[in-house]
Amino acid sequence: MAYSTKVIDHYENPRNVGSLPKEDPNVGTGLVGAPECGDVMKLQVKVNPSTGVIDDAKFKTFGCGSAIASSSLATEWLKGKTVDEALAIKNTDIVTELSLPPVKIHCSVLAEDAIKAAIADYKKKQDSSAEKGADTHAQPTA
Amino acid sequence: MAVKLPIYMDYHATTPVDPRVVEAMLPYFTQHFGNAASRNHPFGWEAEEAVDKARKQVADLIGANAKEIVFTSGATESDNLAIKGAAEMYREKGNHIITCVTEHKAVIDTCKRLEKDGYRVTYLPVQKDGRISLDGLRAAISDKTILISIMTANNEIGVIQPIAEIGAIAKEKGILFHTDAVQAVGKIPFNVNDLKVDMASISAHKMYGPKGVGALYVRRRNPRVLLAPQIDGGGHERGMRSGTLNVTGIVGFGKAAELCRLEMVADTARLSALRDRLNARLHKGLDEIYINGSTEHRLPHNLNISFAYVEGESLLMGINDVAVSSGSACTSASLEPSYVLKALGAGDDLAHSSIRFGLGRWSTEEEVDYVADKLTNVVTRLREMSPLYELAKEGVDLSTMQWQTEGQH
């Protein structure tokens, strides 16, 4: 199967590979997929508590080239977006940008799931720290 | 010496035609183009003579009599003819067939078709090393069993089944024994009498011959095997396979068989040394890599390795100047990995991480070193971006983790 030049570029020069500290209250982590399905994505966002903007995003992916490219692209897009803007990213946007063939659409779905899971994790952390009354961070406003 | 790219290391899929084979074939396209069934002129006689010679060459490679060779279009047709032909012919004797879960699709899907027609098929499991259990085989046999079909060597993992032992059991029970010997014939010693094989499927293009031609060995005595033809017509090939003979292809097949017979010992020694070199170099550069299937009962030119924490297709993408194949098929919503590797019980994640290397007549040391070094680099890079590798290094047991799959796979 021929990959698009954008998929190849992300595979060869993946953006934002790495990990953020999981325990940081401003970091949300999403881990989706399963090894037996052939793809697992870990996507992390770090939110600036005062602005609600995603300052940093990192990923690690076990999967085919399209899965790596989908998550790499997702981290690129996440940086600079507010949490709500991030939730508006659709898998079809990724499909279009990377020219994914039909058999690789599940890779983009997984990337969208990873974004949603990372943000859900971040929100959960914020809520629980608010409940504890130990909230030293402003809630994201956007 | 610089290696020439791309490198071909997928000799289980197909092989290039040996130039000596091409040379033998050439006159049969334009000069000696006759129909081997034309009995009344020299064009036909020449063609028939060439086919007879090739038949002998193929027979000699497997210790058979030339009359026991039925030429076909390839091993898929041979498998179909053997299994469907025997099932139909011996229907009154019984309706039970025994095969194995790691067989080629040409055998498995043929058996599945027969199941729809009322036959009963037992698909024997394999042990961790990829071989069937002989006790399991004995236990599966009933008085309705008419055929056992077990491949000689597996196309993915190169594991060699205990064919002589299976042949002895089949003989003792009076059951026909067919083997898909495509990957083995021409590569390792294979003698139909020593192995007590009644039918064997062979393909020319896996042994440096042309595509589109194969053979089915069909035993003529002790017992005399009868098959219901699956293609009707002019009654060629003792009535078992009608259709004008592919004379050019058959000539090439014969020459390829002769070369394999004469050069097998040297080829095997050279290829097993190269394979061991590839394996050693990979193990030197990488940890957590696992050979799939028996290392003892294995084709000399095969290596199948799982590179833990790295997905096969992304691995292939990183070595795109090397032709190998992966057990991972990330091409559908189901993401089914190789059924052969799954049958070994290695776990789906390792099946997704596998690469099959097939060496052959033109593989070199330089190629092996290039491939091993390139793979070492790519695996190292992909592991750095693998969440599974990170979790494993943190001490997390991946097999007990709860994975969030959203029910989509």
Put simply, whether B339 touches A (Cβ < 8 Å) is no
* DSSP state for residue A26 in the 8-state scheme: T
Q: With bands split at pLDDT 50, 70 and 90, how would you rate the model's confidence at A141?
A: very low
Q: What is the side-by-side strand order in the sheet with B214-218?
A: B69-72, B214-218, B199-203, B176-180, B145-149, B96-100, B120-124
Residue B172 CB neighbour total at 10 angstroms: 11
Residues B29-72: pLDDT tens digits? 999 999 999 999 999 999 999 999 999 999 999 999 999 999 99
pLDDT of residue B16: 98
What is the average pLDDT score of chain A? 90
Compute φ and ψ for B244, nearest 5 degrees. Answer: -55, 135
Q: What is the side-by-side strand order in the sheet with A39-47?
A: A27-34, A39-47, A54-62
Distance from CA of A95 to the nearest CA of B (A): 15
Statement: residue B140 has pLDDT above 50: yes
- Using a CB–CB cut-off of 8 Å, the residues of A that contact B are 1, 3, 8, 11, 14, 17, 19, 31-42, 59-68, 103-104, 106, 109-110, 113, 117
pLDDT of residue B349: 78
Q: What is the mean pLDDT of residues A120-132?
A: 86
Q: Which of A6, A7, A37 to mutate to test the interface with B (most CBs of B within 10 A)?
A: A37
Q: With bands split at pLDDT 50, 70 and 90, how would you rate the model's confidence at A23?
A: very high
Distance from CA of B27 to the nearest CA of A (A): 38
Instruction: Provide, as residue numbers in chain B, all residues whose Cβ is less than 8 Å from the Cβ of A3.
Output: 317
**Taking CB atoms and an 8 Å cut-off, how many pairs form between chains A and B?**
102
Q: Is A64 a catalytic residue?
A: no
Instruction: Provide, as residue numbers in chain B, all residues whose Cβ is less than 8 Å from the Cβ of A68.
Output: 314, 385
Question: Which pTM was predicted?
Answer: 0.91
ipTM summary value: 0.88
Identify the top-confidence range among B217-231, B316-330, B390-404. Answer: B217-231
Put simply, whether B406 touches A (Cβ < 8 Å) is yes
Q: What is the mean pLDDT of residues B379-399?
A: 92
Q: Domain A5-127 - what CATH class?
A: alpha beta
For domain B19-260, is the CATH number 3.30.450.40?
Answer: no
Architecture of the domain spanning B7-11+264-385: Alpha-Beta Complex (3.90)
Domain ranges of chain B: 7-11+264-385, 19-260
Identify the top-confidence range among B158-162, B311-315, B336-340. Answer: B158-162
Contact A113 B337 (CB under 8 A): no
